[in-house]
A and B are shown apart, each in its own frame.
Chain A
């Protein structure tokens, strides 16, 4: 079963506009969530995280929102830049297991 889901395989956004990437999870024990960015032929790089005690975390152009009741998180990128074009993965973890479960990724394309 897919415990972490990214239902949009791809997203296109104009440069300067907001990009919103979504992620849903099913396991209520997850308490830590992360977003990673991956360019072709490179390993994923960490972007931003949020723990279950918060509902928002901001870092520059990147903001992650967590809605625990809906088991949903989203990553907002404002303003979007062509260099943001990559595959974005969300991941979730339960501190009791240290195991990180990744979604299937969303390919973001920012159009100049």
Chain B
């Protein structure tokens, strides 16, 4: 498809289980971002990738969260030993590298809604 694709769209899991969320960015986009939106909150930055490397992991809430990107394309966000406070919509976005003004807008997927019981 032409847009950012995320899977699963919905995930219900039990506290303590591990989950993996997948993002397939727009072809050719070198930058990939993960954000989280908790109920009633704004978009919280988690991590971004430039190619396969992650220059900024500062938003990851704890060491239970990790992300990787392979082949400069698909990314996986993994949450280990999930907690109820991890319940949120996890949004992935991709963009071309910024090369000056008016470039680098983010294109978002529809998100993966995670519910931890």
Contacts and interface: CB of A to CB of B under 8 A. Distances in A.
Chains A and B come from one and the same complex: yes
Interface of A: 6, 31-32, 34, 36, 41-46, 49, 51, 53-54, 89, 91, 93, 95, 97-105
A101 B108 CA distance: 14
6 contacts: A31-B101, A41-B110, A51-B101, A89-B43, A98-B97, A99-B48
A105 B42 contact: yes
A96 B61 CA distance: 23
B9 to A, nearest CB: 9
A31 B86 CA distance: 32
Interface in B16-50: 31, 33, 35, 41-45, 48, 50
A83 B75 CA distance: 33
A41 B9 CA distance: 10
Contacts of A45: 108
B91 interface: yes
Interface string B1-15: 000100000000000
Nearest to A102: B43
B43 A44 contact: yes
Contacts, number: 68
A51 B104 CA distance: 11
Contact of B101 (A32, A44, A46): A32
A34 B105 contact: yes
A98 B48 CA distance: 9
B102 interface: yes
B65 interface: no
B44 to A, nearest CB: 8
A32 B50 CA distance: 18
Contacts of B48: 98-99
Nearest to A5: B42
Given A43-B91, A49-B102, A100 B45 contact: yes
Contacts of B41: 104
A54 B42 CA distance: 26
Interface in B75-110: 91, 93, 97-98, 100-102, 104-110
A44 B24 CA distance: 16
Given A43-B91, A102-B43, A102-B45, A95 B98 contact: yes
